Amino acid sequence: MGEEMQRPPLCNKVEHSYQLIGKKWIGLIIHSLLEEPKRFSEIHAYIPDLSKRVLNERIKELEESGIILRNVIADRPVRIEYSLTRKGNELGKALKAVESWAEKWL
């Protein structure tokens, strides 16, 4: 039998990126953070159909992927805000192109 064909690394990266941004709510969460950092409750208010449980899961995924940053603000009471990293801002720019396409074609 012949050797198995291995996909180039770029294909793996592209597939991984589509798996991430294809998850329900990911795009809207990123969109909600484009202008300024937000607290959990503000993101939830921005996307009211998104359950708090799923929002929490998606935030953790985006943190682990280096797309959003969790900022602990030592006020009284302590506040937590989420913001886009440089990586997240670049992804946001790419998603804005999709938004432009959607406005034109959908």
Residue 5, pLDDT score = 67
- Ranges of residues in the chain with a pLDDT under 50 are none
- pLDDT of amino acid 87: 97
Rounded Cα gap, residues 44 and 55, in angstroms: 7
pLDDT for the residue numbered 106: 92
Strand 79-84's sheet: what is its strand order?
38-39, 79-84, 68-73
pLDDT at 4: 60
Whole-number pLDDT of residue 3: 55
- Computed on alpha carbons and rounded to an integer, the radius of gyration of the chain in Å comes to 17
Question: d(Cα 34, Cα 31) in Å, to the nearest integer?
Answer: 5
Domains of the chain: 11-105 (1.10.10.10)
pLDDT, tens only, 48-77: 999 999 999 999 999 999 999 999 999 888
Asked if residue 8 has a cis previous peptide bond (ω within 30° of 0), the answer is no
46-64 exposure pattern, b = at least 16 Cβ within 10 A, e = fewer: ebeebeeeebeebbeebee
